[in-house]
Amino acid sequence: MITIHDVLAQLLRDVRAEKLRTFLTIFGIVWGTVAISLMLAFGNGLHQHLIVQTAGLGDRIVIAWPGATSIPFQGLGKGRKLRMTDEDVAYIQAQVRELKGICGEYENNLRVEYNAKTISVDTAGVNDVYGSMRNQVPSPGGRFIDALDVRDQRRVAFLGDKLAADIFGTIDPVGKTILVNQSPFLVIGVLKKKAQDSNYNGPDNQKMFIPVTTYRALTGEKYIDDLIFQPPSAADTKKTIDAVRTALAHKLRFDPSDKEALAAWDTTDQFKFFDNFMLAFNTFLGIIGVLTLIVGGIGVSNIMNVVVEERTREIGIKMALGAKQRWILMQFLVETMLVTAIGGAFGFAISIGICSIFPKAAEEFVGHPEVSPAVALLTAAALGLVGLIAGYFPARDAARLDPVVAMKL
């Protein structure tokens, strides 16, 4: 019976006898492995990068703006401008209990002074839930607005990282006092730098956030500019938007089907689009990589056919001495799979090396490529299938040789 030791010994003899041929065979597999693993790694990196960029706006939230009615309702004509207050927000929260979070947002430009600097800053009045919904993560040493700040109407401010640098330079802003419309405010936190590729009223890194109660007391405003809420899940977004619009329609008296009365931006659509787009994109990249790997597999198959021809006499002798067809078949299949595995291992090593030295500056545009377990599993499966097919037909031909004829060749 032919053992793995016999196969390894024969493979080693073949390598020594035909170094160039073996190198070219393995190189074809290496090239195919690098192609498929790197394409999938870069595709996965780009997908994660797009998700992070999109999540900079918020964690699958809906942003809604009160507008003007476009449908007459209960004797009220169209064109009526809607105004929302905090009472309306509380009413929606009471009616649509499945919401993970909801916040009315006020916004205006306020004058900020620190030492000799005076600048006009885009300022938002928000509650404590706003931070988690909008991914407002504070830098170490600081915090976002909490429920006590809102309840006690505290004069505290959370700054965007770019705004903080413009005002304070390299000084740590946390604990410092600034004047907002000539009222002293304590800086409690600075936004941790984040990727954000979209916004609805300016990038977060240039804004200031203060408690909603403090904002109303400082400015005298009572109508919110926009409404932000978070559905229980991405799959429930459409249903939640309808529920919110229906609740507000009952409170403010407009037709629940009037989408112009309350315009809504569903940010989960972006996540769904990127998921579907990247699935198709990665599938395309994977197909290209597999085709490249198949080319390498054809090379392996051709080489194994040559090996079978060169070792025809040896095969005949083994069969004459009692070697069964399945042993011969297994010997050549194992040899092929070993060559494929060696090429695949080198290919994986090259791919991982390229990913590890990928420049950080480029990650800002295409993300960080990574040979993830899923990528490795898919590549290994493709390698195994290609190796099996490439080795089967030469091995089958070898196993079907007539020992009498083979020994004469």
Q: What is the pLDDT of residue 142?
A: 94
Tokens standing for residue 263: 């315009």
Alpha-helical runs (H) found in 56-143: 86-95, 129-133
pLDDT digits (tens, 9 = 90+) for 170-197: 899 999 999 999 999 999 999 998 877 7
Confidence of residue 144 (pLDDT cuts 50, 70, 90): very high
Tokens standing for residue 31: 């090239």
Strands 183-190 and 156-159: parallel
- Does residue 7 contact residue 331 with C-beta atoms inside 8 Å? yes
**What is d(CA 253, CA 251) in angstroms, rounded to the nearest whole number?**
6
Highest-confidence segment of 133-137, 160-164, 299-303: 160-164
CB-count burial class (<10 Å; 0-12, 13-18, 19+) for 377: exposed
- Does residue 65 contact residue 84 with C-beta atoms inside 8 Å? no
Q: Please list the residues that pair with 263 across neighbouring strands.
A: 65
Q: Please list the residues that pair with 156 across neighbouring strands.
A: 186
Q: How far apart are the first and last CA of the chain?
A: 24
Residue 294 is which amino acid? I
**What is d(CA 180, CA 211) in angstroms, rounded to the nearest whole number?**
13
Angle at 379 between CA 376 and CA 381, to 5 degrees: 105
**What is d(CA 157, CA 184) in angstroms, rounded to the nearest whole number?**
10
- Does residue 217 contact residue 183 with C-beta atoms inside 8 Å? no
Q: What is the pLDDT of residue 6?
A: 60
Closest of 107, 109, 117 to residue 179, by C-alpha: 117
User: DSSP letters along 378-407, please?
Assistant: HHHHHHHHHHHHHHHHHHHHHHT--HHHHH
User: DSSP letters along 145-182, please?
Assistant: --HHHHHTT--EEEE-HHHHHHHHTTS--TT-EEEETT
**What is d(CA 323, CA 316) in angstroms, rounded to the nearest whole number?**
9
pTM, two decimals, is 0.66
Q: Which residue has the higher pLDDT, 7 or 56?
A: 56
Tokens standing for residue 174: 């946390």
Average pLDDT, the chain: 82
* 80-104: average pLDDT: 92
Residue 255 burial (CB count, 10 A): 18
pLDDT digits (tens, 9 = 90+) for 287-343: 877 777 777 777 777 777 776 666 667 666 666 666 676 776 677 677 777 777 888
Q: Is the pLDDT of residue 242 over 60?
A: yes
Domain boundary assignment for the chain? 4-54+272-408, 62-267
Q: What is the pLDDT of residue 64?
A: 93
Q: Is the pLDDT of residue 85 over 80?
A: yes
Rg (CA), the chain: 33
Q: What is the pLDDT of residue 18?
A: 59
